[in-house]
Structure 1
Amino acid sequence: MISRKILFLLMLLSGVAACNFPKDKPLFIFTEHGKVGFIDQQGKIIIPPVYAEADDFSEGLAAVRSDGYFGYIDPSGKMIISAAYDRAEAFHNGMALVYKGTQAQYINKQGKLVFTSSYAKVDRFKNGYAQITTTTQMMGVIDSIGHLVVDTIYNHLLYYNKNLIFLHKAYENHRDSFGAINLNGKMVLPFSRFQLLEIAEKGYFIGQTYPVNNRTIYMLMDTTLHEIYRSDTSNYTLEAYSNGRIIATKRDSINHINYSQVIDTTGKIWYRDEGRIRPYKNNRAIVEKGEGENIVIDPYGHTIDTCYNIETYEFDYGVAFVQKSNNDEEEYWMIDTCGHRLGKHSFHSIKAVHLQGEYYEFSKGEFIGIVDKKGNIVVPAVFDSEYPVEIRDGIIKGKINNAIVYLNYDHKVVRATRPDPTKRPLNISEQRSGYTYVLSAGKELDLPPGFEPFPQPQPITAANNFRPGQLQIRVRTDTSILFEAKYLGYPLLIANTTTKPIDIDTQDSGLYLVLQAYYNNRWVDVEYLMDVICNDSYGTETLGPQQYWMTTCPQYTGSIKTDLRYKLANNVDSTTHTYIFSNVFKGSINPGQLWREKKHY
């Protein structure tokens, strides 16, 4: 329960600071008894909680799912576009991306099909164009009716505006090359010129040419490809450009910085230092002097302030969080671009920024609070740091004492929803990643706080009633247990009834185990395993003879009733995997679970 003291404090917060939130009447998602609905800024229920899943409103419509499929409702709760999609994204520029099976489609606000897409990913449209990605991770551009404008032969699209698209292409000899093409398909910056092209500031780029006679040229250009400045000094690197100033560094043969300097586009040097100079933001740059000491300079190299450690947000929005003494307490002050302290408070750390610098999350111990851009405490450190804080359209949402709390722009609690004690099956519209972790006998791992210990082998008894002489999986659907402490699950047992130990392949002690559903006369994976790129993650866990692991699997619920089973892969590095299947049991899933991993969109 939320303490009366905290609630009383929150209700008095309107006297602590004033907020300038938008004055319209947006709706906010809330959850009650396992269902999702919408409230207004006063906490009044506008759309009752009847949905299994919902997204925020965008352009007057919100995607919702009652059973297995998504549709779109208006702010009154009326279904405008019928529920017919495995997944439905938000509307932007009058169109939304939806999926029927793996088929991506774009529809308008009347629910009419605009075009279909065969690409693995389509980004949001911008200025009438959208970036696309193929299943082989190659990129291109389409227009608003789905026509291919830039062919899918590029590794990366750096940036595009109304006229130009900047491209990255990797060749077979591992030589990277960068170029630019216009929206008529004409190459205006050939790939033979630059080995690196980076966005310096909106409207400007830094290009690095291929070396000729061990000399590399760095060029600052605008988006018309007009050259603003060039440097052809050996090992003299243009690092950044912003606020009319170039940050350049001189490096030695092993890439250590000898010195950095601030220059303008005429080549005039305004400041030089042996330390690193970070890019200008709001006409202020941070110079790292060493031993934790920093100074703040203006575009003319004048020192504005001296400080020690500085948090991530280095004058992004005209303020920075710095330490004024080199001690171990790590207390940060908030300063403006003149070096003046804002407010009287100090903070352990700054966790996030909201509404383009209007508000910041700060931490005090294990809790999160909100401070505005003037250094005033808007909400004291009462939010649970494990739950994300949201600030938008006049509502501050966070978690306090296990309850989700909504504060309005006067900082009064308009609604507080407590956890539903009822444990339910898992009702989702996407595939879950692998969750079955085990350990060999006697093995221990240092797990982060909140993680349950991984199961270790237990001795098999006659009461287990396993089949003799084999590695086997059994799902016990005759009893329910908790999965991840909040959903209904089943006991899942993996047993070795042979006379020898069996090594089973793992990634970070996670088994290659996924659930399958019988659909359209074949078995289909409805869970997936995340790719691990660290070689140290791959290994084995050993299950001794006459031993078993007992873990937990989720009970799913959905609109498709079908047969389910688990599939365990072993010998994954060999040309022929070994598969072990569990008993078949009855269950239900949603359509999106047949194909939709989170990385699909």
Structure 2
Amino acid sequence: MNRICWMIVFYLVMGTSILNAQTLIPEQNGKGKWGYVDLDGKKVIDYKFKEAYPFIDGKAKVKKGEKWGYIDTKGKEAIKIKYSEMYEWNGDYCKIAEGGSVKDGILTGAKWGYINRRGDIIMKAEYDEIGLFKDGLAYVMKGGKYGYIDDSFHVFIPCKYTAVGTFNERGYCWVNEGGKFDKKKNKDVVKGGKFGVYKRNGDLVVPVKYKAIGVFDELAPDANPLMASIYNDPEYIKQLRKIRKDGYALMRYTPNIFKFSFDVSSEFDFSKTKEYVESHTKELNESYLEKMSEADRKLAEECGSFELLTYSFLSPKKFSKLSMTENTYIVVSNKFGFSSLNGEMHKYNYHKSNEKFFHKIGIFDGNGTMLLPPDKYDLAYSPNNGFITVAREKKKRVQSNYYTIESGKLLFKDWIDVEVVTPFEKGNAVIATHKEQYLIDKEGRKISKDYSLILPMRESVYVVKNGDKCGIIDSLGHEIISPSYNLISPVSEGLMCAQKNKGGLYGFLDKKGEFVIPAMYESAQSFKYGWASVRTKSGWGEIEPDNKMAVECKWNNTAAKEEWKPKLMWVQKENKGLWYCLSTETNQLAFNAGYTGFRNFNRDFEGVAVVWDKNNKVGCISSDGKVLVPCIMPNGNLAMKAYSQMLNQKMGVWTEIDTYKFMIRNNQERNKCELTGTIENDMWDY
């Protein structure tokens, strides 16, 4: 590069103010060597460098032979030219490499460390790898073993582990010792060895001696009492097994899958399997819900599950996280096995003798205190109110008990056969057997009457049933309303949707059991995001907690709300008709276009909705109805990807041509075409 070209680059990068302060400019001679000249073109530093960079703060980075360093304005070494590689400065520090060799432009076999701006060694170059600092932490590797350093370059996890994870949002990181990387499948997959957990301060909170490690990360689906009878129905179990079997069969033929296995470390694409299982399971559940009474269907939709968090084990990939968004409890086991796609604990798996289900888990808290000893209980759930709900299988029946953390003893001498496994909440728990359900206190004493059903507590109140009648009890087991209503939904935003008699009108009760919104609606749903959906003879609308009308009752249907008192919501004018966007501020349609389906505004991108047209093609619109991406996409996910790309291109809208080009470029069949193959006409984008 000649002197004029270097000056242009220098101006663009460093600015004129730096140029005025620094008068030396890199220049290459006819032999390819670099030196430095002043603004008049006079040589100041000899042409002796393989590479040379502009001066910054009186120093310039140069390469001599295969080594890097820094010189001052007199050409003397400011930082010795002895490093195989030097990264850019990160504040006052620079990552450097010593030794190694370069082949095809890639440095291998070097040792890494850090220096400061004076060239002093801050961290000795003794590591085979040093990761990028993130939140003040970086992994290091020496002799094939991993550890961690902080941004003061102190080693707080020694380099003695086969693999380490990344620190999660709560400051915890897993490590593996003695495992091996599965080089045939994926070099980042660890098999075998023992797992443990470190805290960000360097404390080892879980000893490195367990075959599996995980977290409590989702609600147990079978803790929904209204669905439990379905989950345990033999015919349901039979149909579900077939769905799962057919779903796994799809996985066998997914591209890049070479071996069918339930091994958690397998690198298979589960997407088709997951999609198949989820969609068909939903259909199966809906078919069973249709057999329920209208009141029970409403309860099943609104009652939810008991707050019973179940666990999944870590998929042992290098640098993955222990996700702890809900709590800091850590699950360990030495009898590791997976039972389903993502390790979910479903009660129907108890009856599958061909699966490894029981793990004999133990539990630690975030400070390293063992709350539940490992290798003792078949199944345990997240600690709650000083107890850990534990379960086991006995003669093909599910039995439950409560492990008392403080005493280390079980609450009941004899395990209880249960229909639903439940946790302790606010000092009591529901015992849900196959015959009756009742409340107990922390001493295990029965504190309520027997009921045929007790729904999960909401705002310190339980909805109960005897036969087909609903009532309310408080957290001490006292009856507020004896079972006498056709329907009482669980508390939501302080109120309960209620219907006194079958076929009667709906109103809303407070937690004292008194009507605060009279029974005046032909149908109603619980309050959510500040409003409740109600139906009069004129149609559906929305009401406030004081029974004032928020959306006029004149629509055939209103869509579920996804934000607090939304300014825009979707409504239907007629049965099974198109969906239109309503402005709740004016009670008028925001725009005239109708769609067969939608993803609501503010769900993925603020002010943008994904919509389906009459041909079931998908696009994106703005909140004023403007078409941003035409409705020609095959699915919503691709439409959102298209909108995201449109934003990256800084375009306000896409034409149909833009959208077609995007679809073609994202066509997986097209992307599989070989260089020597024939691409069909409809796969070209020009």
More helix by share: 2
Computing the radius of gyration over CA atoms, which structure comes out larger, 1 or 2? 2
Higher relative contact order (CA 8 A, sep 6+): 1
TM-score normalised by the chain length of structure 1: 0.42
TM-score normalised by the chain length of structure 2: 0.37
More strand by share: 1
